[in-house]
Chains A and B, each alone.
Chain A
Amino acid sequence: MQSAYISLGDLKAHRNALAEPVASESAGGCSSSGGAGKSSCGSSGGPDDMPSEIWDKVKNHPCYSEEAHHHFARMHVAVAPACNIQCNYCNRKYDCSNESRPGVVSQKLTPDQAVKKVLAVASEIPQMTVLGIAGPGDALANPKKTFETMRQLTEKAPDIKLCLSTNGLALPEMVDEICKHNIDHVTITINMVDPEIGAKIYPWIFWDHRRVTGVEAARILHEQQMKGLEMLTARGVLTKINSVLIPGINDTHLIDVNREVKKRGAFLHNIMPLISEAEHGTHFGLTGQRGPTAQELKAVQDACMGGANLMRHCRQCRADAVGLLGEDRSDEFTLDKIEEMDIVYDIDKRRAYQEKVEAERQAQHQAKVDALADALDASLIAGQEDLKVLVAVATEGQGRVNQHFGHATEFQIFEVSRKEALFVGHRRVDLYCQGGYGEDEQLPSIVNAINDCHAVLVSKIGACPRDELKAAGIEPVEEYAHEFIEKAALTWFADYCGRVASGAIVHQPRGDASIRQGAVMAA
């Protein structure tokens, strides 16, 4: 069923290597032996899937918990503009493209300004639980600014979780400082574990007062990354590994990366697509290196399942993003605006609000579990063995199919089989419906973005896009409006299999889809 845009033979060979037993699991890592239809831990895990001390760390962290990201918000402050390495997908006129949307520029802040902004956001958005420093350069190449911000926040906003992102070069010597500031989530961008491959990604590093180039540079970076990861694991700091998938350079190699980081206790692995455009002025953009297609990305992510847990809900947000993942409210909190705000940091009010959000999250989780049980019974009976299809879903949140097709700026993608409906990613699209009128020129780009899907589940859809989607072979489905997504997907799948079995329709494999390039969306 899966399109072989990357040689699947290659992937399978790597995957078999993955099946070998790895070194003992660390405190931070999680077992990959979950029951059927349930991922064992990591981004889609729940309280039953992991030790309680780990659950406490991730339950309201939108990046570490897929479920939390619908309820809790994060913000980044751009206090760390300098970097100590050069990446071929980065142009330092813009933010770091590891950690942020390529091609966007964040407003740089001093630590004092950053702290003021955090307090302003925390009082306006009480479900903001996480503060990250993710550039626009490397958080640890700016240790004074990064740790001064963290120090003040520990004092003034002790209930906010602190995180940072790094390329790992300076990580080993900063681990003590990281632990001192109670930073319990660290993201390391690791694109290779083989310096020969690294040399194609990193032209140079700044190391020991010298610019080091080539394989030597990549070897030093690799050793520092592995050492830093091991040290964080030993201290019980949760780690997320970001990897940029660069077709032809590190695609199948990321399976080796996944194995190596899991071995060293990484909690989550986030494989994200290279975004490469000539107008960003990056080496890759200027030399025509392309990003992966949706199916190429998915093939590598799928091959890594069973290794370190995969994050599938990353939106590659910018270094000054504010709000829920996928939304950006940073415009409401510019320096000018926070100057005029009356900032009251009320920790009790925040706590009360967060408890309410947490109760809602739990209620929703339980309702979903209950709703799913029946749908699963039906799909187990009607569903065709070995058939797996993708469906796109328009949702405004609460885990339900509750968005009009024309209002969607992204679709969530679920892989459905008779046993489960699994969240596998999201696709950004341009808004189809503007001011009540559908924009016909937008539709082809939406079709391209979800072209590997058999159906699109929406709360409602206009007549024109409905007909055109059908013509493109994607079934528009309104029947499950306001239903839980997984239940809707499984019920649709059972129905689909029924129609195939009765001969009413013929099952056809779908093609590939494109991942939208460019930096049109702010968040």
Chain B
Amino acid sequence: MALKIIGSTCSGCSACDPECPNDAIREKSGVFIIDPAKCTECEGHYDSPQCVAVCPVDGCIVKA
């Protein structure tokens, strides 16, 4: 259970990074990536995945 960021649509804005309760997001070559080993889709933390809720690009973050 994890999410992934589609690198070709990521704008690199970094909005997702500080919202992640699992510290699973980091920058790589100007875009952001999610560590699937750490991602819990925010279950147990919030009602909805925080990175999806804050991301300005629709469809950029999807189920891995």
- Which chain A residues have a beta carbon within 8 Å of chain B's beta carbons? 81-84, 86, 90, 92-93, 108, 136-137, 141-142, 144, 206, 209-211
Contacts and interface: CB of A to CB of B under 8 A. Distances in A.
- Which of B14, B46, B48 lies at the interface centre, i.e. has the most chain A CB atoms within 10 A of its CB? B14
A209 B13 contact: no
Contact of A81 (B12, B48, B50, B54): B12
Contacts of B50: 209
29 contacts: A81-B13, A81-B14, A81-B15, A82-B15, A82-B17, A82-B18, A83-B13, A83-B56, A84-B15, A84-B54, A86-B56, A90-B56, A92-B11, A92-B13, A92-B57, A93-B11, A93-B57, A108-B12, A141-B15, A142-B14, A206-B15, A206-B53, A206-B54, A209-B53, A210-B46, A210-B47, A210-B53, A211-B53, A211-B54
A144 B18 CA distance: 10
A136 B13 CA distance: 9
Contacts of A82: 13-15, 17-18, 54
Interface in B31-64: 46-48, 50, 53-54, 56-57
Please name the 6 residue pairs, one residue from A and one from B, whose CB atoms are nearest each other, closest first.
Answer: A82-B15, A92-B56, A211-B53, A81-B13, A206-B54, A92-B11
Contacts of B56: 83, 86, 90, 92
A92 B50 CA distance: 18
Nearest to B56: A92
Interface string B1-31: 0000000000111110111000000000000
Contacts of A90: 56
B31 to A, nearest CB: 12
Contacts of A141: 15
Contacts of B57: 92-93
A90 B57 CA distance: 11
Interface residue SS majority, chain A: loop
Contact of A209 (B11, B12, B18, B46): B46
Contacts of A81: 12-15
A93 B47 CA distance: 28
Most buried by A among B17, B18, B56, B57: B56
B48 A211 contact: yes
B53 to A, nearest CB: 4
Given A84-B54, A206-B15, 7 more contacts: A81-B14, A82-B17, A83-B13, A86-B56, A92-B11, A142-B14, A206-B19
Contacts of B11: 92-93
B40 to A, nearest CB: 15
Contacts of A86: 56
Contacts of A210: 46-48, 53
Contacts of B17: 82
Contact of A137 (B13, B18, B46, B48): B13
A90 B12 CA distance: 15
A92 B19 CA distance: 18
A92 B18 CA distance: 18
A295 B54 CA distance: 38
B39 to A, nearest CB: 16
Contacts of B12: 81, 108
Contacts of A142: 14
A84 B13 CA distance: 11
A211 B53 CA distance: 5
A45 B11 CA distance: 41
B32 to A, nearest CB: 11
B30 to A, nearest CB: 9
Nearest to B30: A108
B47 A137 contact: no
A90 B11 CA distance: 13
A417 B46 CA distance: 62
A86 B53 CA distance: 11
Contacts of B47: 209-210
A142 B14 CA distance: 9
A170 to B, nearest CB: 12
Contacts of A136: 13
Nearest to A137: B13
